[in-house]
Amino acid sequence: MPAKRSLALALALLLVAAIPARATGFPAINVIDTIRPGVDSSYALWGNGRLGDFLYFGADDATHGYELWRTNGTTTELVQDINTGIGGADSSNPFGFTALGDYLYFAATDATHGEELWRTNGTTTELVQDIRSGADSSDPSYLTAYGAYLYFAAIDATHGWELWRTNGTTTELVQDINTGTSGADSSNPDYFTALGDFLYFSAYDATHGRELWRTNGTTTELVQDINTGTSGADSSDPNYLTAYGAYLYFSADDGTHGYELWRTDGTTTELVQDINTGTDGSLPSGLTALGDFLYFNAYDVTHGSELWRTNGTTTELVMDINTGTSGADGSNPGGFTALGDFLYFRADDGTHGVELWRTNGTTTELVQDINTGASGADGSSPYAFTALGDFLYFNAYDGTSGNLWRVSAAGTIESASPAGTNVSFGCMCERPILTLDGRLFAAVTTDETGTEFAYLDEPTYVLPPTNRDGSLWTATLVILAGLTAAASIGLRLRGARRA
């Protein structure tokens, strides 16, 4: 074998050998108790958002009150004491973190402006605009990035709670949807969901009631008055808006079928299927995509609340998990989260209690009875499903403690807990478990630390098992790749000269 070809092969083998083997077993859990050391709690990560390489959140260090902090697991620091107050312990209570461009936007309170819209890039933290001037609050909520703007609901002294937007420079009322008689009536927009060139949402006006609307920032319009009712102001109350394919799916009540599954592409708005015939409705919820179908929880009088799916043409029961004694008992599935070819969720089959299940549309199965309990029907009540790398992480109670658990794509389950007394993971918050690159973060409570947060590195997130820039592996990879490329160039040049 020619020398240069041997060199290229050797370097390639060296490159492969340099790839670290994937670790087996549950990664080490690191508890961070630096914000409020000791048994007192900082309540970090109860509200949070990501910007760049950091997670931002509110926390209480006992000196500044509940203020804006950030962490990447390695560095944890106070970003700004927004509400300095009189004694230094007043809180700004930041929440609703949503990234747009180079900034993370959120709602926060100070003693001068009340609760208003703020933003930070980690270096500069500033008030975006005092929408409701003075100490009164505009209460910005449902912050949603769409295009070059952040859309949200807010109240000012003139328009009530209406649709606003900002790009960080210009903050403006998009439309006063419910003008009312006094000018202060509200449309209370929510469920902001993007589809195509529009942002869809639910909103109220005095003519149509609460119906489905959309905006592109220039045009804001009613999509359809689904429930015309008898007075013209009856509401279909659209909720659980979910974009899937070319359609927006949602639950709505047209006054005839009860709350059923609907969809729209902005031109055609239609009932997908009357699952629970009559006026009671199937109450579809938890709409989540897997493959060619949208899965959800729905009720009918035969099966109770069970697992259904639709592709817009075919709508079908996936499985009657809890057949019960009357045939109408429901498993009430929820927490739908995709990992690989399966959709994982919690459900109660009437025998094992609320436990971990999964489906690929063909096979629907109990993954494991984590909490066997005394009667066999006690459940582990898994929640906060979060996919990272090759695993789905979640919180569950095994009858003794609330550990952090994970399941692989193959269905293998394992759990771990850090050192401490009376350890429990998670919080009653919007995102109890969250990820930042290859790290997973969660609130954790122990007798020794109070309620703080912990993180772990998931080595299957990428190869190599860290995405930290500047690591020894990164440097080795670059050098080896360069040497291999140089040897390959030599081979090509030699071959060209022969030709």
pLDDT of residue 401: 82
pLDDT of residue 88: 62
pLDDT of residue 400: 86
Q: What is the per-residue pLDDT across 38-69, written as a single tens digit (0 to 9) for each?
A: 999 999 999 999 999 999 999 999 999 999 99
Residue among 196, 201, 123 nearest 162 (CA):
201
Q: Which residue has the tokens 């995709």?
A: 338
Question: Span 104-127, mean pLDDT?
Answer: 97
Question: Span 404-421, mean pLDDT?
Answer: 93
pLDDT of residue 428: 78
Taking the C-alpha atoms of residue 27 and residue 30, their distance in angstroms, rounded to an integer, is 9
Confidence of residue 231 (pLDDT cuts 50, 70, 90): confident
| CB contact at 8 A, 105 and 171 | no
Taking the C-alpha atoms of residue 330 and residue 304, their distance in angstroms, rounded to an integer, is 4
**Token pair for 30:** 């690191």
Q: Cα-atom radius of gyration of the chain, to the nearest Å?
A: 27
Question: Span 147-170, mean pLDDT?
Answer: 96
Confidence of residue 128 (pLDDT cuts 50, 70, 90): very high
CA atoms within 13 A on the CB side of 78: 18
**Could you tell me the CA-to-CA distances from 233 to 107, 144, 228, 419, 423 in Å, in that order?**
32, 28, 7, 58, 51
Q: What is the per-residue pLDDT across 299-347, written as a single tens digit (0 to 9) for each?
A: 999 999 999 999 999 999 999 999 977 777 899 999 999 999 999 999 9
Q: Which residues contact 84 (CB under 8 A, 6 or more apart)?
A: 64, 90, 110, 111
Residue among 234, 172, 182, 171 nearest 206 (CA):
234
Average pLDDT of the chain to the nearest whole number: 88
Q: What is the per-residue pLDDT across 200-224, written as a single tens digit (0 to 9) for each?
A: 999 999 999 999 999 999 999 999 9
pLDDT of residue 196: 97
Q: What is the per-residue pLDDT across 442-480, written as a single tens digit (0 to 9) for each?
A: 999 999 999 999 999 999 986 544 444 444 444 444 444
Q: Which residues contact 491 (CB under 8 A, 6 or more apart)?
A: 2, 4, 5, 8
- Whether the pLDDT of residue 497 is over 60: the answer is no
Confidence of residue 230 (pLDDT cuts 50, 70, 90): confident
First to last CA, the chain: 19
Taking the C-alpha atoms of residue 179 and residue 181, their distance in angstroms, rounded to an integer, is 7
Confidence of residue 182 (pLDDT cuts 50, 70, 90): low
Q: Which residue has the tokens 């969809």?
A: 263
pLDDT of residue 376: 67
Q: Which residue has the tokens 């299927």?
A: 273
pLDDT of residue 430: 82
pLDDT of residue 484: 44
Confidence of residue 229 (pLDDT cuts 50, 70, 90): confident
Helix or strand or coil: residue 277? Answer: coil
Confidence of residue 279 (pLDDT cuts 50, 70, 90): confident
- Whether the pLDDT of residue 101 is over 60: the answer is yes
- Whether the pLDDT of residue 492 is over 50: the answer is no
- Which of 71-80, 118-127, 341-350, 487-496 is predicted with the least confidence, judged by mean pLDDT? 487-496
Q: What is the 3-state secondary structure (H, E, C) of 323-356?
A: CCCCCCCCCCCEEEEEECCEEEEEEECCCCCEEE
Q: What is the per-residue pLDDT across 3-38, written as a single tens digit (0 to 9) for each?
A: 555 545 554 454 444 444 445 689 999 999 999 999
Residue among 85, 189, 82, 108 nearest 146 (CA):
189
Helix or strand or coil: residue 359? Answer: strand
Question: 452-481 burial, b for 16+ CB within 10 Å, e for fewer?
Answer: bbbbbbbbebeebbbeeeeeebeeebeebe
Q: What are phi and psi of 164, to 5 degrees?
A: -125, 170
Q: What is the per-residue pLDDT across 349-384, written as a single tens digit (0 to 9) for each?
A: 999 999 999 999 999 999 999 999 767 678 999 999
Query: How does DSSP assign 185-245, residue by residue?
Result: -----EEEEEETTEEEEEEEETTTEEEEEEE-SS-EEEEE-S--TTTS------EEEEEET
**Token pair for 128:** 């975006």
Is it true that the peptide bond before 37 is cis, omega within 30 degrees of 0? no
Q: In what order do the strands lie in the sheet with 160-166?
A: 141-146, 149-156, 160-166, 171-175
pLDDT of residue 353: 95
Q: What is the per-residue pLDDT across 239-277, written as a single tens digit (0 to 9) for each?
A: 999 999 999 999 999 999 999 999 999 999 999 999 999
pLDDT of residue 468: 42
pLDDT of residue 6: 55
Element (H, E) at 391: strand 391-397
Q: Which amino acid is at 473?
A: W
DSSP 281: B
Q: What are phi and psi of 402, to 5 degrees?
A: -95, 85
Confidence of residue 493 (pLDDT cuts 50, 70, 90): very low
pTM of the predicted structure, to 2 decimals: 0.87
Taking the C-alpha atoms of residue 245 and residue 252, their distance in angstroms, rounded to an integer, is 19
pLDDT of residue 383: 95
Q: Is 370 left (phi over 0), alpha (psi -120 to 50) or beta?
A: alpha
Element (H, E) at 402: strand 402-408
